[in-house]
Structure 1
């Protein structure tokens, strides 16, 4: 399985909750999540993938996650999020490894001038996979609060290495 397929598999974990949530549950902001919602976390990881796909295919080859489009519809409508995930999964299957990429990281360093580092499409896919798993773990907590009736698989929002470690105990 290549990284694009792994990414799609991780993204599709959202299918365990998106079809089953009301708009109210999706947008509820429990205090335990510090005022964020399942919808906000879902939008966030979808848009990181969209940003990578779009920017990695541009001639400049510069990835700047701070320039992602933020879609209120994806944050407030579970059906829109599902549509976006399907679109991202299709785009991932068509992705080609472009020229070497550069990652804009001035947001991380809190510096005024531009700072970029070399990266690759593969490295950014790994980052986005791990980033999505992290947000799914937070979403799992949120779902326990806003939709406790939902039964999620044990592996939902859990890193494969954690699952392997648990299996060895």
Structure 2
């Protein structure tokens, strides 16, 4: 894995990569040609990059009892709303409005990264990520992912771990 984003990749300047570089965290920038007609953004990333879907994680914003939070789960599964509510000490979680998610994070849906968000939000990563040497998350735009060690992702997001994903 590269120590820094590849120079000249054109994607090294997203808030996500800037946050990782500032923190001194090793990552690899992974770009692919995004199909504008594609709506399964995580599935597309896994296919285009040739990575098992269990190693590609999606970033989802939820409202837990009136407070926004971030859930990071494999693209091969779904976010368990009851589990993330419990992980955040709440009773009920619902998916956040996409427009609100974009405003709070500074990213577009399909390119929301758990890293470098405009408004840092409490983040919970599904514990399944710990089973992999590296995982991929959105790098801050469609067609751009970041590969890094799960523990580094958690450190960079100041995240907690919990079983929040389901098949």
Q: TM-score, normalised by structure 1?
A: 0.30
More helix by share: 1
Of Structure 1 and Structure 2, the greater strand share is in 2
TM-score, structure 2 length as denominator?
0.30
